[in-house]
Amino acid sequence: MTENPISDHRERRGAFGAAAEQYDAARPGYPDELVTDVLEFAGPQGVDALEVGAGTGKATLAFAARGITLTCLEPDARMAAVLARHCAGMPHVTVETTDFESRRPSGRRFGLLLSGQAWHWVDPEVRWRRAQELLLPGGAIALFWNDWLVADEDLRHELRAVHHRHLHGLPPHSIVDAQPRESVMVPNSWVWEELQTQEGFTDLEHRLYLSRHTRTTAGIIDLLSSLSSYLILTEETRRAVLSDVSRTIDAHGGALELDTRTGLFLARTAA
């Protein structure tokens, strides 16, 4: 029996904590060039930043290494615990186990709001308004995501067939697409469209960073196991899909190349 990997938004949002350590080990970070570009765009005010949906610290550590002050919001206590462990001994990094929507106002405003692989989980009814409330005049917002795609076309087709054997439809963010179906990487995505409708934001920019890296079979299984659309599958279905994926990659030499596209959206609040 096939299973539908596309489920309730709230269920998917809350799935990561159960695999926090695996998420931390499997998920790639972000290009150094992106960090440089964000901080240059933000300017001097960017030294005091708020991070939304910090997870286990994939973006946090890259920005903290530049010496800026970071207040990191992560609603899942299990993810936040891994993040806090990584940031131990970093007095310029504070971890708050709370979500962006319900964080109690403190009157403090930031020069930079950043969010990696997480802004789509924030309630669309409040996210832009809350961002403006928490940013200083002229403060910057930086939102970024990674997409991963199997580079080899033949192997990609084989892995698509594997998924179709076990699932009713592909996951919404699948490495076996020729092009991501629900990507935010293009300027006319929902991120860009929503930003354009917000009167309080100016200087909108979109940037794209391309890279390619090799992953072993185990590395691919770990990556897929960290994605919400796989985490919410039943254990039986998830095991069957991943076992079949593993056998397929092993038959191709035990590794594959992933094309990685990192999309960045930038804007400023009105000064």
Mean pLDDT by 10 residues, the chain (271 residues): 47 51 74 98 98 95 97 95 95 96 89 96 94 97 93 95 89 76 71 91 95 93 86 91 97 95 94 83
Q: What pTM, to 2 d.p., does this model score?
A: 0.86
CA angle 116, 9, 83 (to 5 degrees): 35
Say how many Å lie between the first and final Cα of the chain, rounded. 56
Residue 147 pLDDT: 87
Q: How high is the pLDDT of residue 107?
A: 87
- The alpha carbon of 121 is separated from its chain's Cα centroid by a whole number of angstroms, namely 10
Give the span between the Cα atoms of 135 and 267, in whole angstroms: 11
- Spatial distance between the Cα atoms of 176 and 161, rounded to a whole number of angstroms: 9
Which listed CATH number (3.40.50.150, 3.10.105.10, 3.90.76.10, 3.30.2350.10) goes with 9-269?
3.40.50.150
Angle at 164 between CA 16 and CA 178, to 5 degrees: 80
What is the 3-class SS of 53-112, one letter each residue?
CCCCCCCHHHHHCCCCEEEEECCCHHHHHHHHHHCCCCCCEEEECCCCCCCCCCCCCEEE
Could you tell me how many residues make up the chain? 271
